[in-house]
Amino acid sequence: MKLKALVVFSLGVLGFSNPLLSKASFEFTTSVPTDKTFHVVFIDDVNNLNGMSHVLDQKSDGQLSKLIQLNKFTPEKGNTLHLQMIGEVESLLLIGSQNKDGLSAPELQDLGGKIASSLSSTKDDLNLAIHVENLKTSEALPSAHIAYGYHLRHYSFDRYKTKKSSGESDVTLVTNNADNATKLYHTDLAYIAQGVHLTRDLATEPGNNMYPQAFVDLVKAKFKGIKNVDIDVLDMRDIKKLKMGALEGVGQGSINDPRLLVINYRGSEKTNAPIALVGKGITFDTGGISLKQNTGMWAMKSDLSGAAAVAGTLYASAQRGENINLIGFMPLAENMPSQDAIRPGDVLETMKGVSIEVISTDAEGRLILADAVYYAQQTYKPKMLLNIATLTGSAGRALSDEYAAVITRDFELSQKMMDVGKRSGENVWPLPLHPNHFKQIESPIADIKNSGAGNPGASIGAAVVATFIDEDLPWIHLDIAGVDWLEADIDVAPKGSQGWGVRFMDQLVRDHSK
Ligand code: BES
Ligand code: MN
Ligand code: ZN
């Protein structure tokens, strides 16, 4: 026990409050800076260079056009070409920006991420100017979105490395409307990127240092001083008192007790019912007595991605002072096999009073969500409830990296969520919820059981959670098992945890704030 206290201490002091993460800073100006050695220009037409690229072509006596031809650079969106010594510019990155319909906000963010990733092999500190021109878009402030995308991509989890893996970036965006872009980026978009990075930190941190109370400590440290935020932590005694037998049961095999963390952000009048965001927080999922197989089990350190995304979303909304009431619920537990662990066949009581027969102890996410969503509804009377979880391998197999699964009780709401996804840069695709899925979780000895015969796994998982939610409450179920962990880089995230859900939920929050 003494040892444990020591670990917590070092995490708090050396860890997240003072992370080794490489930094980036962003500035917006209308005039071309003369002190930069590194420049980035967008190109939408190689035969008609405009702005900075035109200036550099003239200064280099047509050298730039010639190199574009020699390298067969074409201006399709996202194409890159890195050149040295053009005019007085030491380093020049060309990025294709050609497009038909005008670049959406997520497409601009992808371009920003593309710039960061093109430079991520450089371990040195970077001092660069991005010339925001030759971009067709209806966004009023494309430069802020490019900075935001760069910021999203500029991430590495370095705290266990003795040497940093990337340098710092000092980025100047050259644009008209610099004042408004400064405002949009620094008082708004930067907080989303910070929320995403917080989520990645939580999901990447190994299980030995990220157990329920460690999650709570880190969130408390991060939210310290943010206005209109109350943090409430239910410990084992509270969980028992409230008869949350499902959350208790999943956590009881571990020496690290479960918690229910509640972040309450009051950004609007009391009379406005809040939106509830509930995230699965399994700090490590061994499967319990229904033990998982060895291969790849390490990745289950990120089985708290849903809870982490809820924390990241609250962080962004509260920091920018969004006009909304928003409450995040994060049931936290470690799913371990031990002589104290629940067994297959055990029956658990829940706060709602619905008993659950545990067919597989590896179907633990729906168990902790059952108590958490019920508690959220009963205690805070939300007008809408969203839950997000790395719930089923089944969702991952169906949709892979491109979409998270969305399940609702009415298809129209799912379609609305597809639209939210499009605008946020994080896409979802609907899976069904059919009366038969509820049939499949009927138990011979309890009210329900926690898994069915198998297919369709994602829908059956959702049916268990749905059992604990009033039918007339607008309810959104997100299964992110396929998207939370990237096997390869994307424009706005290096491989590993991508912090999926913060951008999606942030967009949903905006749509519901006044
Ligand atoms: N955390 C897993 C789901 C998961 C799998 C997330 C792969 C990320 C990648 C979840 O707790 C689980 O084990 N689900 C089981 C449910 C089954 C036992 C009904 C699954 O999907 O196999
Ligand atoms: Mn599991
Ligand atoms: Zn799990």
Domains belonging to the chain, first-starting first, are 2-199 (3.40.220.10), 225-483 (3.40.630.10)
Q: Counting atoms of ligand 1 from 1, which one is nearest the CA of 451?
A: 19
Q: What is the DSSP letter of 293?
A: P
Q: Counting atoms of ligand 1 from 1, which one is nearest the CA of 282?
A: 1
Ligand 1 pocket mutation pick from 335, 362, 397 by most atoms within 8 angstroms of CB? 362
SS3 sequence of 296-339:
CHHHHHHCCHHHHHHHHHHHHHHHHCCCCEEEEEEEEEEECCCC
Our answer on whether the CB atom of 513 is closer than 6 Å to any ligand 1 atom is no
**Structure token pair of residue 418:** 């597809």
pTM summary value: 0.96
Q: What is the pLDDT of residue 22?
A: 64
Q: What is the pLDDT of residue 125?
A: 85
Total Cβ atoms within 10 A of residue 343: 12
Residue 180 has pLDDT above 90, yes or no: yes
pLDDT tens digits along 252-278: 999 999 999 999 999 999 999 999 999
Residue bearing the CA closest to ligand 1, atom 14: 392
**Structure token pair of residue 475:** 């309810």
Rounded to an integer, what distance in angstroms lies between the CA atom of residue 19 and that of residue 13? 9
Q: What is the pLDDT of residue 514?
A: 78
Q: What is the pLDDT of residue 3?
A: 43
Q: How large is the average pLDDT for residues 388-400?
A: 97
> Is 400 exposed, middle or buried (CB count within 10 Å of its CB: 0-12, 13-18, 19+)?
exposed
Instruction: Name residue 435's amino acid.
Output: P
Which residues are CB-contacts of 472 (< 8 A; sequence separation ≥ 6)?
Answer: none
Which residues are CB-contacts of 28 (< 8 A; sequence separation ≥ 6)?
Answer: 143, 144, 147, 172, 173, 175, 178, 179, 181, 182, 185
Ligand 2 centroid from CA 286, angstroms: 7
Q: Note if 514 is an active site residue.
A: no
Q: What is the pLDDT of residue 5?
A: 42
Q: Which residues of 279-297 are buried (b: 16+ CB within 10 A; e: fewer)?
A: bbbbbbbbbbbbeeeeeee
Cα–Cα distances in Å, from 73 out to 69, 78, 513?
Answer: 6, 11, 44
Catalytic residue (choose from 36, 352, 366, 449): 366
Q: What is the pLDDT of residue 347?
A: 99
Q: What is the pLDDT of residue 2?
A: 37
pLDDT tens digits along 89-125: 999 999 999 999 999 999 999 999 999 999 887 767 8
Ligand 1 pocket mutation pick from 391, 455, 479 by most atoms within 8 angstroms of CB? 391
Q: Which residues of 118-151 are buried (b: 16+ CB within 10 A; e: fewer)?
A: bbbeeeeebebbbbbbbbebebebbbbbbbbbbb
